[in-house]
Amino acid sequence: MEHARIPSPSKSSAHPLMSGKVRGKSPSLPGMPCHIFGRGDDMEHIIELILSDDCRGRYVSFVRVVGASGLGKTTLVSLAYHGTWVCEYFDAKGWVFLSAERFNHMGVLLRAIIECFTGVSCGGLTDLDQLREILEEELMGKRFLLVLDNAFNEDPNFWSDLLPPLSAGAKGSVVVVTTRTELVANIEGLKHSYQLNPLEDHICWRIIESNWFLRREILNGAPYFVGIGEKIAAKCKGVPLLANVVSGTLGRGIVSEKRWWAAVLQSDLWDMSRQEVTYSRRTT
């Protein structure tokens, strides 16, 4: 991916993995995705927002990545999170997946944020003032990146209450919020936003055919498999998670038989797969 438009990070700032400062790893942090299709420009724009001059000039900035379930929000932000430019720019990084409990209780969320940065359990500490003080001390003077994955709280007061302890970091600190709801995206103070849109049908087909077992049969019986495969891809409606689900389903059947492909095209898999997309929010 071309990074020509991304400003060069300061050589003096080192990622904690390089300096040995990291004491633990957030259990919410997803693994590094091995490959993505059709999202190169999206990922570049997200990185540019995180490292933008406007974010560099503020003590803490919020960057929202908005999109429907299954479009790849978590995957893209994870790629940016692991990227060289981002790793070199920030002194500390943390990732918190926002379960319903974490986003309905400020104390639970503060504990999760502290633990993702320190790797040390807060135990049963519930006093909000103490939790804020601990978080402020941990972030003091550090340029940090925090990802709040799967945000759905639409109360502006919640975000206002979260801001003070995060403001203890150094200039250039960024909180990335992934969300499916435009109401979260429109909350005052969450200034920077990137809208993730569905993929084109031919990209969904590339995802489906990337399955090795399918690709072998596609090459052997090209005209038919490509034709019906493109119809199957169109039914994914641009949702990469759904394309991956369908690819796996096709690969588990008798992939050399045309009737298996036709059965998948005509099956109720699409309704079930959309339910799976709905319940797979942690991977979006």
**Model pLDDT for residues 18-61, shown as the tens digit of each residue:** 233 334 444 456 655 556 889 999 999 999 999 999 888 888 99
- SS3 for 194-237 is EECCCCCHHHHHHHHHCCHHHHHHHHHCHHHHHHHHHHHHHCCC
Q: Which tokens sit at 191?
A: 């200034």
CA triple 72-101-110, angle to 5 deg: 90
β-partners of residue 179 are: 66, 151
Task: Identify the weakest region by mean pLDDT among 5-19, 91-105, 136-150, 159-173.
Answer: 5-19
Residue 267 corresponds to which amino acid? S
d(CA 256, CA 262): 12
Give the whole-number percent of the chain exceeding pLDDT 70.
72
Q: Edge-to-edge, what's the strand order for the sheet holding 92-97?
A: 92-97, 144-151, 173-179, 60-66, 192-195
Task: Identify the weakest region by mean pLDDT among 7-11, 26-30, 148-152, 217-221.
Answer: 7-11
Average pLDDT over residues 203-217: 79
Average pLDDT over residues 255-269: 80
Domain segments of the chain as ranges: 16-195, 201-283
CB distance 217 to 255 below 8 Å: yes
Query: Under CATH, which number does the domain 16-195 receive?
Result: 3.40.50.300
What is the residue-averaged pLDDT of the chain? 79
Q: How far is CA 98 from CA 52, 102, 159, in A?
A: 25, 6, 14
**Model pLDDT for residues 88-147, shown as the tens digit of each residue:** 999 999 999 987 656 678 898 999 999 999 999 988 899 999 999 999 999 999 999 999
